[in-house]
Amino acid sequence: MRILGISAHYHDSAAALVDGGVPVCAVQEERLSRRKNDAAFPLLAIEWCLERAGLEPEQLDAVVFYEKPMLKFERILTMALRGFPRTWRSFPRAMKNSLGEKLWVKGIIASHLGVPGRKILFTEHHQAHAAAAFLTAPTRAAAILTADGVGEWATLTLGRGGVRADGGTEIAALREIRFPHSLGMLYSTFTAWLGFPVNEGEYKVMGLAAYGRPSMAAEVRKVLLRTPDGGIALDLSYFDYHLSARSSYSTKLLEAFGAARDPWDPIDLSTDRGRHYADVAASVQRVLEDTLVDLTSALRAETRLPDLCLGGGVALNGCANARILRESGFERVFVPPAPGDAGCALGAALYADRVHFANPWREVPDHPFWGPEAQPAELVRLATEDGLPCERHPEPELLARVANELCAGRIVGWVDGECELGPRALGHRSILAAPHSSEVRDRLNRDIKFREEFRPFAPVTTVEAAGRYFDLPPGGLRLARFMSGVFPVRPEWRSALAAVTHVDGSARLQALEREMAPRLYALLEAYGRRTGIPVLLNTSFNIAGEPIVNRALEGYSTFRRCGIDLLVAGPFVMTRRASARPAPLEEEIACSQSAAASGAV
Ligand SMILES: [Fe+2]
C-alpha cells in the first residue's frame, strides 16, 4: 500500500512516502525550495517523493494530511467568540488563514495531485506526532507523550502505543491538554519575550539558560499552574496569544519579568540586563523540565511500561529529555530525528497505514536519512568551472587526509549520501571540526555560522567511546542516537573538549553506531587514531538563516560564501587555494603530542 503523508501551512512543511508499511523517503520543503522553515504546500517535496519512488499520483492508495482543518477552524472560531470583543482585531486574520489554504486542504491536494477526494485522509495533529514517535521507534509497546504549541485543540497528549498479538497496531491517547493551555506556547512566549523568533529561536532559549540561574522559577510557576488532576493550566492573564495575533504576552507578564528584549539588542552577559535574560531563560527551562518530569513520572506509574516515546516540538529540548530519562523511571526514551511538524508527514502516513488501514506492524529502519542523495559529481563540474582544486581519493586516503586536516584545525564541510529528515545534521550534512579549542568554536560562530556566542556546538563520537567522555545514564546512548539529549561532559575531559562543552559543562551529544553513518564513523576512528580522542565537533551544514544544504551544489555555494576550509562530498575533496596544501607535519605532531600529554591514548 502506497501512502503519501503531508504536513504544511504552519511551519516546516514536508512530504513522506510509505510503501508496504515502510518509509521510502521523506523531505522537508525547505531543503528543496531553499526557504528556511518553508510552510508552503510542499509541492517540491511531494514531487521529489513521487519521483524517488517512481510513482505517478494515481498509483497512490492514499494521501494523508497531518491535521484536521475543520477542527483547527473550530478552535479559531471558538476562541475568537470566547474572547470577543478583545479578539476582533485578530479574528479577520485568523479567519483569512483558515479560510485560505488551511481549510481547503482537500481541494488543494485533489487539484495538485489529481487524486480523488475519497483517497484523501486526515489524522489529528497529535496522532501524527504520536505515530512519528512510536511507529519509528524500535519498540512494540511504549507510553507516548506529545507536546507542542498547538495542533487543532490538543497541545499535549499522554497515551500509549502497542502491537497486538495479531500484528495490529494501537495508538491511544489517555488524556490531553487543550489550547490555550500549552507548554509549547509557554516556551514560545518567553522565546518571543527574549527577542528570538518563535518556532526557530527555542534552541537559543535553551542555550542561554545555561548561563543563568533559575532565580525566577517561582514567578514562572505563577504563570504555569498545576491542576489537581496532575495536568497543567496557564494563567491566561499573562498571555495575549489566544486573543491577539500581534503579541503573545500581556502587560502583566511584562510587569512580572520586565521589558521584552529588542531583537536587535545584543545580549551582554556582563550586564545586569543580560544576566536577567539568562536567569529568565533558566527559570522557564527549569519549570518546563520539572513539569515534563512530573507528567512522565505519572505516565510511567500508570502504564508500567519501560519505554517512552516523545513527539512534538517540545521533544527537541535535549535538556528536558535527559532529565526525563534520568528521573521519570522510564528505562528507554525514544525521540525521532524529526519530532516537530516536519516529522508529522511521516507520522501521518504511518498512522494511516497501521491504524486506518490496519496493515500489520512493520519495523521501520532506525535512521534519519530519508532525503535526497547528494550527487558528488556535481562538485567536480562546479570546481572545474571555477578553477578550484578538486581531488578524488580512494576511501582510506580520503579519511586520512580529512583527519589530518581536522587535526590541523581546519573546518570541514561534509556531504555524504541522503539528507537527514529533521533539524539536525546526524552525519550526512555536517560541518566538522576538532573539538578541542574554543578558538575553533569562535571561528565557526564568527566566520561560518554567523550566530550568537552563547549557542553551543555539539560533539559526535562513537557509541563505544561515548561513556569515556560523557556522563551517560542508562539509556543515554539511545537518546544520543539522534542528538536528543544533553549530558554532562566528564570533568576531566572538559578542557580537551572545550569547543563542544557548554558553559555549564554539558554537551548535546550524538553517539554514532557504525551502521548508521559508516563514513563518518570511520572518520571518527581515523581522527581518534591521530589524537587519542575520537570526538568531533558536528554542526549542521548551513549558514544562519538558511536551510541545511541538500545537494552538493548548495554545499558548494555555502563553502564559497563562508570560512569552511575544505569540502568533502563522496570521494571528492575541494579546498580553498590558500589551504590546498596538505596539513603541515609539525601541527600533526603537536596535536598528537598534546593528546598524549593529556593522557588520551
Ligand atoms: Fe506540532
E-strand ranges in 40-96 read 62-65
- Nine cell digits for residue 178: 487543550
In this predicted structure, the answer to whether residue 3 has a pLDDT above a threshold of 80 is yes
Helix 202-209 and helix 272-303, axial crossing angle in degrees, nearest 10: 100
In this predicted structure, the answer to whether residue 317 has a pLDDT above a threshold of 70 is yes
The answer to whether 40 touches 369, Cβ cutoff 8 Å, is no
Instruction: Give residue 151 CA to ligand 1 midpoint distance, Å.
Output: 6
Residues 6+ apart with CB under 8 A from 440: 409, 411, 433, 434, 499, 537
Q: d(Cα 585, Cα 278) in Å, to the nearest integer? A: 43
Cα torsion angle, 387, 388, 389, 391, sign: negative
Q: d(Cα 387, Cα 381) in Å, to the nearest integer? A: 10
Q: d(Cα 472, Cα 507) in Å, to the nearest integer? A: 11
Query: Among 430, 413, 456, 436, which residue's Cα sits nearest to residue 574?
Result: 413
pLDDT digits (tens, 9 = 90+) for 478-492: 999 999 999 999 999
Confidence of residue 455 (pLDDT cuts 50, 70, 90): confident
Instruction: Give residue 65 CA to ligand 1 midpoint distance, Å.
Output: 13
Predicted local confidence at residue 600, as pLDDT: 33
Q: Percent of the chain beyond pLDDT 90?
A: 71
Instruction: Give residue 197 CA to ligand 1 midpoint distance, Å.
Output: 17
Instruction: Give residue 423 CA to ligand 1 midpoint distance, Å.
Output: 14
pLDDT digits (tens, 9 = 90+) for 526-552: 999 999 999 999 999 998 889 999 988
Predicted local confidence at residue 110, as pLDDT: 83
Rounded average pLDDT over 201-213: 93
Rounded average pLDDT over 341-364: 97
Predicted local confidence at residue 95, as pLDDT: 56
In this predicted structure, the answer to whether residue 462 has a pLDDT above a threshold of 80 is yes
Q: d(Cα 27, Cα 343) in Å, to the nearest integer? A: 9
Predicted local confidence at residue 595, as pLDDT: 39
Instruction: Give residue 514 CA to ligand 1 midpoint distance, Å.
Output: 32
pLDDT digits (tens, 9 = 90+) for 97-149: 555 555 678 888 888 888 998 999 999 999 999 999 999 999 999 999 999 98
Helix 183-193 and helix 272-303, axial crossing angle in degrees, nearest 10: 170
Q: Percent of the chain beyond pLDDT 70?
A: 89
Strand 458-462 and strand 535-540: the pairing is antiparallel
In this predicted structure, the answer to whether residue 582 has a pLDDT above a threshold of 50 is no
Instruction: Give residue 158 CA to ligand 1 midpoint distance, Å.
Output: 15
Average pLDDT, the chain: 89
In this predicted structure, the answer to whether residue 157 has a pLDDT above a threshold of 50 is yes
Q: d(Cα 336, Cα 346) in Å, to the nearest integer? A: 11
Instruction: Give residue 149 CA to ligand 1 midpoint distance, Å.
Output: 7
Residues 6+ apart with CB under 8 A from 540: 423, 424, 425, 429, 430, 431, 548
- Nine cell digits for residue 400: 586520512
Rounded average pLDDT over 429-446: 90
Q: d(Cα 428, Cα 151) in Å, to the nearest integer? A: 31
Predicted local confidence at residue 592, as pLDDT: 40
Instruction: Give residue 340 CA to ligand 1 midpoint distance, Å.
Output: 6
Query: Among 170, 133, 177, 172, which residue's Cα sits nearest to residue 154?
Result: 177
Residues 6+ apart with CB under 8 A from 457: 441, 444, 499, 500, 537, 538, 539
Predicted local confidence at residue 89, as pLDDT: 57
- Nine cell digits for residue 15: 512530504
Instruction: Give residue 185 CA to ligand 1 midpoint distance, Å.
Output: 11
Predicted local confidence at residue 384, as pLDDT: 84
**HSE of 461, CA atoms in CB hemisphere, 13 A:** 24
In this predicted structure, the answer to whether residue 415 has a pLDDT above a threshold of 80 is yes
- Nine cell digits for residue 547: 536551510
Looking at per-residue confidence, does 578 or 226 come out higher? 226
The angle subtended at Cα 60 by Cα 57 and Cα 64, nearest 5°, is: 100
Rounded average pLDDT over 16-35: 97
Q: d(Cα 132, Cα 128) in Å, to the nearest integer? A: 6
Other beta carbons within 10 Å of 92: 12
Name residue 74's amino acid: E
Q: How far is CA 16 from the centre of its chain?
A: 17
The answer to whether 544 touches 451, Cβ cutoff 8 Å, is yes
Q: d(Cα 413, Cα 542) in Å, to the nearest integer? A: 9
Residue length of the chain:
601
Instruction: Give residue 152 CA to ligand 1 midpoint distance, Å.
Output: 9
In this predicted structure, the answer to whether residue 586 has a pLDDT above a threshold of 50 is no
Instruction: Give residue 436 CA to ligand 1 midpoint distance, Å.
Output: 37
Q: d(Cα 336, Cα 481) in Å, to the nearest integer? A: 9
Instruction: Give residue 295 CA to ligand 1 midpoint distance, Å.
Output: 19
Predicted local confidence at residue 92, as pLDDT: 58
Instruction: Give residue 98 CA to ligand 1 midpoint distance, Å.
Output: 17
Predicted local confidence at residue 427, as pLDDT: 95
pLDDT digits (tens, 9 = 90+) for 253-268: 999 999 999 999 989 9
- Nine cell digits for residue 115: 487524486
Q: Is 448 left (phi over 0), alpha (psi -120 to 50) or beta?
A: alpha
In this predicted structure, the answer to whether residue 601 has a pLDDT above a threshold of 60 is no
Confidence of residue 198 (pLDDT cuts 50, 70, 90): confident
